Structure 1
Amino acid sequence: MKKLLYIVGSPRESASESSNIANAFLKQYKETNPDAVIDELNLWKEKIPAFDGNKAAAKMTFLGQGVLEGKLITAWDEIVEITDRFKSADDYLITVPMWNGGIPWALKQYIDTITQNDLTFDFGPNGYSPLLENKKACVVYTSSVYSPVLPKSFGLDYQVSYMNWWLELIGVTTVYNVTLLSTAITQSLEQDRHLAIVKASAIAKHHFAA
């Protein structure tokens, strides 16, 4: 049985452009995979453990610094639990509104929590190597101002470039992107929104079949 993890990166609920596009993907995904399990992880409603001093200290024990005992074990168990939830999915749907050229802090916190050596990636003499295999992702990107066709004064993209790097790092190499850009200034928002919704639905139908 397939499992989709839907990571909600926007706090705006029904007012969110990215969430509304994601809903179109979900609707088609459920039709295409009627037996699939849908696990929604709303980063603004669920408590994601901060990667604090104890967790950093626990991580360093795997690099030969200190001993994993006492409160460090508890701290690391929290990391493993939330990472296992991520790893248990076959497919991912992630909404990523652009915040200050990059991604929302809640999504960055989540990524920093689950991106750990021996859990989602390995590191050796040749650098990083992914530990995940046979995973797919659909990532929905939105921005209120930025667009690659606009001058630099309208912003830069550290949103898509960062997500692509991270997904490749951990081994999610089959990635489909849906974008809706410059929503606050474009003169064709309705058309652009419609095209994004159609594309999201088509991706779910043609690329995420069981």
Structure 2
Amino acid sequence: MPTILHINASPRDSHSGSLRLARHFIDEVQSAGDGTFEVETVNLFDAGVLPGFGRIAAAAKMAVFSGQDQTSEQMNAWEAARAVFEQFAAADAYVFNIPMWNAGVPYVLKQWIDIVTQPGWSFGFDPATGYRGLLEGKQALAIHTSGVYAPGVPAAFGQDFSSTFFADWLNFVGIEDATHVRFAPTVLNGDVDGTRRAAETELSEVATTFAGKLSAAGLLQLVND
């Protein structure tokens, strides 16, 4: 069964506009696919979801790449990081809901990205040709929300380093089939409900194509099996 990994980067639960849209999109995809997709949601702000990646994990990483033996403590840290990556890599498609925080992505999303983005895992490097993403053949849908910023506003109303960073990261790891939908602004807006409905309509339109590609991926898996 094809799997959608939903990465929720908001801590606001039912009050989150980005999470509400993500759930709307997933429901539409399931409807288009007759409920044949498995959905796994990771709430990044939940305690214990992400392992730390500090001094010990960094030393474990350098031990791997320098051909040295890891200590038991380093092995545990590296295995914890690897588990997060394997959950990421095992999915066939991705849904991300990303509220803008201080012009960038929430820190837990950056932590998750830094854990899964390791050489030999999600990207490779050739001295002659440069970086190459290793997660090819997958698709992603990213929902970006912001309270005040919106495309085209004066700089005094904020800037967007969130969606640009995230789009670049997706491409870096090889996920080139990516759609970005924006719901903004969510505060400085005289018609928030209308803007949300427009985003929902856009997501509903995207869902049919998303489901079709996911179904095709599932059929390919059956053939390969």
1:92-146 C-alpha deviation (Å, 9 max, x unpaired):
0000000000000111111111111111111220321111111100000000011
RMSD: 1.2
CA distance in 2, matches of 1:105, 1:64: 29
Secondary structure, aligned partner of 1:200 = helix
Whole-Å separation in 2 of the counterparts to 1:93 and 1:143:
18
Q: What is the aligned partner in structure 1 of residue 155 from structure 2?
A: 152
The TM-score, its normalising length taken from structure 1, stands at: 0.96
Matches within 5 A, 1:61-210: 61-64=63-66, 66-125=68-127, 126-209=129-212, 210=215
What is residue 41 of structure 2 aligned with on the other side?
40
Richer in helix (by share) = 2
CA contact 2:17–2:145 (8 Å) conserved in 1? yes
The answer (yes or no) to whether the contact 2:98–2:142 under 8 Å persists in 1 is yes
How far has the Cα of 1:148 moved from its partner?
Answer: 1.9
* Partner Cα separation in structure 2 for residue 47 and residue 27 of structure 1: 24
5+ residue gaps, structure 2: 216-225
Distance (whole Å) between structure 2 residues aligned to residue 207 and residue 106 of structure 1: 26
Give the Cα separation in 2 of the matches to 1:138 and 1:55. 30
AA aligned opposite 1:27? D
| 8 Å CA contact 2:6, 2:94 repeated in 1 | yes
- Number of matched pairs: 210
| Partner SS state of residue 39, structure 1 | strand
Q: Secondary structure of the residue that 2:94 maps to in structure 1?
A: strand
- How far did residue 66 of structure 1 move? 4.2
CA deviation vs aligned residue, 1:5-26 (integer Å, no higher than 9, x gap):
0000111111111011111101
Runs of 4+ in 1 over 3 A off after TM superposition: none
Q: Percent identity?
A: 32
Question: What is the TM-score of this pair, normalised by structure 2?
Answer: 0.90
Partner SS for 2:121? coil
Secondary structure (helix, strand or coil) at the match of 2:96 reads strand
Paired residue for 1:9? 9
